[in-house]
Amino acid sequence: MLTVHHLENSRSQRILWMLEELGMPYKVTRYERNKETMLAPPELRAVHPLGKSPVIVDEDGAGQPCTVAETGAIIEYLVAKAGGILGSPDERQAALHYRYFLHYAEGSLMPPLLIKLVLGMIPLVGKIAQKRLQPMIDVHLDFVESELSARPWFAGDTFTAADIMMSFPLEAARDRGGLDSSRPAVIAWLETIHARPAYQAALARGGPYKYA
């Protein structure tokens, strides 16, 4: 059985969704953020030294339980465990798109959104800096809009784990990064993923999620 160590309003919601899409049985251990700092509680350090979420512990198979951290690494672990389901398409260009967006989500799109969140906590100077950061975020959102205007899913014609990876930064962008109806392809994509039964099932398992 897999256990997901799930922090409220965090990247770990994607792992619950992935597991629901795959139909894998799992347990959820849920953690609340500190209401003042919004950081994860220290109890998570007992699971992984960095004390961050998501982390999964897989007790299936022989030997010691397997602990995996980092969203992208967990996603790849689950794709392999499921025999390639939701993994890379066979067609070369689609496979390249898949690999790119699997890493782009956290490597390029999420950092400026996180910086904007942190700047928003700094009075006066932070607000000014946020405005200067927004054009950088807009470049990313325009890029994503152009990609989703060309095809229904990030890898091509088929829903994959790349779409699951891209969900959190785009939900965050809609919440605080300037994503609105001026980018209709991205908004339509978000509405489509939110309507998926597995997405709804993951919400029910994980509890309230700010970005849904």
**Same domain (yes/no): 76, 113:** no
Q: Which tens digits make up the pLDDT trace of 17-71?
A: 999 999 999 999 999 998 887 789 899 999 999 999 999 999 986 678 999 999 9
Looking at the fold, whether 123 and 74 belong to one and the same domain comes out as no
The Cα 183–Cα 188 span in angstroms is: 9
Same domain, 20 and 74: yes
- Residue 71 makes CB contacts below 8 A (sequence gap 6+) with 11, 12, 14, 15, 54, 106, 165, 168
Parallel, antiparallel, or unpaired for β 2-7 and 55-58? antiparallel
Confidence of residue 181 (pLDDT cuts 50, 70, 90): very high
**CA-CA distances (angstroms) from residue 161 to 22, 58, 59, 186, 204?**
10, 19, 23, 17, 20
**Claim to verify: residue 187 and residue 97 sit in the same structural domain:** yes
pLDDT at 95: 98
Mean pLDDT of 153-178: 97
Domain of residue 45, CATH code: 3.40.30.10
CA separation for the pair 173, 179 (Å, rounded): 5
Say what the pTM is: 0.94
pLDDT band at 204 (very low <50, low <70, confident <90, very high): very high
How many structural domains comprise the chain? 2
Q: Residue 39 carries which side chain, given as an amino acid letter?
A: L
Q: What per-residue confidence (pLDDT) applies to 120? A: 81
Which pLDDT value is given to residue 119?
87
Provide the pLDDT confidence category of residue 72 given band limits of 50, 70 and 90: very high
pLDDT of residue 16: 98
**Tens of pLDDT, residues 79-135:** 999 999 999 999 999 999 999 999 999 999 999 999 998 888 787 777 788 888 999
CATH number at residue 142: 1.20.1050.10
Question: Tell me, what's the pLDDT at 130?
Answer: 85
Neighbours of 65 (CB within 10 A): 13
Integer-rounded Cα radius of gyration of the chain: 17
Do 16 and 70 fall into the same domain?
yes
Among 86, 110, 132, identify where a domain stops.
86
Q: What is the mean pLDDT of residues 177-195?
A: 98
Determine the Cα–Cα distance for residues 185 and 146; give it in Å rounded to an integer.
Answer: 8
Q: Which domain holds residue 42?
A: 2-86
User: What mean pLDDT is predicted for residues 188-208?
Assistant: 97
Three-class DSSP labels, 121-153: CCCCHHHHHHHHHHHHHHHHHHHHHHHHHHCCC
Q: Are residues 98 and 193 in the same domain?
A: yes
Q: From residue 210, how far is each of 9, 109, 162 by CA, in Å?
A: 6, 19, 21
| Domain finish residue from 58, 86, 114 | 86
Together in a domain, 100 and 192:
yes
